[in-house]
Amino acid sequence: MALVVTRQAIDRMFAEAEASHPLECCGLLLGEDDHIHEARPAANVHPDPARFFEIDPQTLIDAHRDARSGGPVLVGYYHSHPLGPPEPSATDRAQGTGDGRVWAIVGEGKIAIWRDAKDGFEPLSYSVHHG
């Protein structure tokens, strides 16, 4: 089954990547199961944001609290590759945990979406829906 992503989430990821360039942007993908309704930006708190990303821990805590209160669940994460393709880098692969979450990567004017699977990142197909 293909992942469903709202046009608003896609547009937000592109806008954040452009606004952050030449640094990496990052954030959360919120929704339910295989539906991403929102891309929520987070501060990139990594000491070298031109080459790496680290999502602000408070943004993650807030998202988990919201989900426990009936809000959208954390489906995954997004970040940009200002100088590279939208595929997991060696660093991304090293940081993957195999938890099954979705990773969207913005690079070279495209967004590719991956599942952080037990045996490494797997590409996901997705469709974009308005709403």
pLDDT, tens only, 4-37: 999 999 999 999 999 999 999 999 999 998 899 9
pTM for the whole thing? 0.96
Give the span between the Cα atoms of 8 and 126, in whole angstroms: 14
pLDDT digits (tens, 9 = 90+) for 98-122: 999 999 999 999 999 999 999 999 9
Q: What is the CATH number of the domain that holds 124?
A: 3.40.140.10
Q: What range does the domain containing 109 cover?
A: 3-129
Domain count along the chain: 1
Q: Which residues carry out catalysis?
A: 24
- Degrees to nearest 5, angle at CA 78 with 70 and 60: 45
Q: Which two structure tokens, joined as six digits, stand for 76?
A: 């995954």
